[in-house]
Structure 1
Amino acid sequence: MSTTRHHINRQRRRQARETRPAAPAGRPQDTPVRTGGRGATAVLTPADTVSADPPTAAGDEQAAPARSRRPVVLILLCALTVLLGGFAGWARAEAEGLRSEPARSNTALTDLARTSEIKGQVAKAVDRLFSYDHADPGALDKAAKDLLTGEAVGQHRDLLADVRARADEQKAVITTTVTESAVERIDGDRARVLVYADQSSVATTGKKAATEQKDKAGEGAAAAPDEGVYAAAMLAVDVVHRDGRWLVSALDTFGR
């Protein structure tokens, strides 16, 4: 009886091996499978437990750089945060310092009454300081004495020296009229004003020559009139407040 059962079991095992499907790609050929016999169970060999093992050495080598980069990135972010915080503090301190400097306290746009006062006095001063009549040279000297102070005294003398010489030679009258002005800044008792002016120069020697030519030609001859010379001028005027007046302390003709 035992020999017959043993023979039957051997035939079943042989049939099971012949009908067993081919192992899929990547699956070891010697992996046992369920035979379907009563009480038979599948048994896992060490090859079946490969997927449950920890990562291989190659996987550790690939993951290691990623893990090592994390501390470096965190350090860089922390450093950047510190730098930005320091820059913000420095910028705020610089802004406060600029606002507290006396040179930054410009009231030209806020103190309208003082701005208007400066513009009016500077316009009158420029009209007098840059107008000249050969017949009354003392008027220019008086204007310079009344309206100039500091380095403006020498600047005005140098600027008008050649003009006075030509005007005296041609018996000319030079007239200057301020057409527009703008207060650039007001800092306490000092201010700077940009001035635009029109200038005209008329020589009386031309009129005399024309009159003599008319007398020689007779009453019917027409004398050529002296049309004069006209020009525009621009300059910056620094003024200082003294004894209730704004005196010219410096003149800037922008290279002229």
Structure 2
Amino acid sequence: MSTTRHLVNRQRRLASAGAARVATEAVPQERASTLDPARRKPSPRAEEPPQEAVEPSRRRRLPGTGTAARARLRRVLSVRAPAVLCVLVVLLGGFAAFAAARADSLGSDPAVRNAALTDPARTSEVKGQTEKAVAALFSYNYADSGPADKAASTLLTGKAVQQHRDMLAAVRAQGKDQKLVLTTTVTESGVEMIDGSRARVLVYADQSSTRTAGKKPETTYAAAMFAVDVARGSGGTWQISGIDTFGQGS
């Protein structure tokens, strides 16, 4: 009886020792499986780096925004600035020379020297005196030729003296027989050019010629257009120095 109990107790002890040994061996295997990277299952999240760590590396810097780029830009500007200033000085100097030459050329242009375009007072003086001279020179009264003779002696100079004599020769020759009265009225005039003491004036005039020798007076009318060259005399009076009828008869 005691032997049987002893055997039973021994078997129990052996069974307890075996179970303890099995448990002891299982614990290191579990720890090993936990610590061994090959046995661990990869975690999907562990393979992807955190979003905060990836984003800075993926960002691209814009060219020319770094400190080195700014320093390089300052060096380029410091080198090129004197060259740019030199170019500007050359360009401005060339422009000044061109402007001076242009001003000289404009000053020598006949259109600029024409006082008829730049001196209204002198233009008005020439225009007024020429209109009065033309009206006096080309008007004639058979009964009193004194005013016409005086105008011819005081308002004509140079070649205009002979031109005027030729133009009015027929009028003077027929004046007394036909009792001729010639009246010239300037309707318009324009000063074409004034250069110092010389000028040229374009004249438009109406002429009426009346013959009173017959039973009934006869009057004819005509329009005239011609140009006169005038010169300023020593007394300040503008005298007609040339008459241009543009190839037309008197």
Letter in 1 for 2:241: S
More helix by share: 2
Q: Name the amino acid aligned to 2:150.
A: K
Flag structure 2 segments of 5+ consecutive residues without an equivalent.
1-99
- 1:167 equivalent in structure 2: 175
Shift of 1:126: 0.3
- 1:228 maps to amino acid: T
In the alignment, which residue of structure 1 is the partner of 2:157?
149
1:101 Cα deviation (Å)? 5.7
TM-score, structure 1 as length reference: 0.54
- After superposition, the C-alpha distances for 1:225-250 in whole angstroms (9 at most, x for unaligned) are 42400000111011111211111111
Q: 2:239 aligns with which of 229, 241, 247?
A: 247
Q: Does 1:232 align with 2:223?
A: yes
Cα 1:165–1:94 change in 2 (3 A) is farther
Counterpart residue identity of residue 238, structure 1: D
2:120 match: 112
What are the within-5 Å matches in structure 2 for residues 80-229 of structure 1? Answer: 99-100=107-108, 105-206=113-214, 210=215, 225-229=216-220
Matches within 5 A, 1:11-26: none
**CA contact 1:103–1:187 (8 Å) conserved in 2:** no
Divergent runs of 4+, >6 A: 92-95
CA contact (8 A) 2:184 2:206 kept: yes
Question: 2-side partners of 1:97 and 1:158: how far apart?
Answer: 43
Structure 1: distance between partners of 2:211 and 2:166: 22
**One-letter amino acid of the structure 2 residue matched with residue 134 of structure 1:** Y
Map 1:7-46 to 2 at 5 A: none
Match of 1:73 in 2: none
2:127 is matched by which residue type in structure 1?
K
- Change in Cα spacing, 1:201 to 1:97, as seen in structure 2 (3 Å) is same
* TM-score, structure 2 as length reference: 0.55
Report the AA paired with residue 252 of structure 1. Answer: D
Counterpart-to-counterpart distance in 2, 1:131 and 1:102: 35
2:232 alignment partner AA:
H
SS in 2 for 1:109: helix
Cα separation, partners in 2 of 1:162 and 1:98, compared to 1, 3 Å = farther
What residue in structure 2 maps to residue 39 of structure 1? none
Q: What is the Cα-based RMSD across aligned positions, in Å?
A: 2.3
Structure 1 position 97, deviation (Å): 5.1
Aligned-pair CA distance for 1:255: 1.2
Superimposed CA distance per residue, residues 125-182 of structure 1 (whole angstroms, 9 cap, x where no aligned partner):
0001000111112321111001011111111111111222122321110000101000
Indicate the larger mover: 163-172 or 126-135.
163-172
Q: Which amino acid in structure 1 is aligned with residue 231 of structure 2?
A: V
SS of the aligned residue for 2:194 comes to strand
Q: Is the 8 A contact 2:185 2:207 kept in 1?
A: yes
| Alignment-mate amino acid for residue 240 of structure 2 | V
Distance 1:159 1:230 in 2: 17
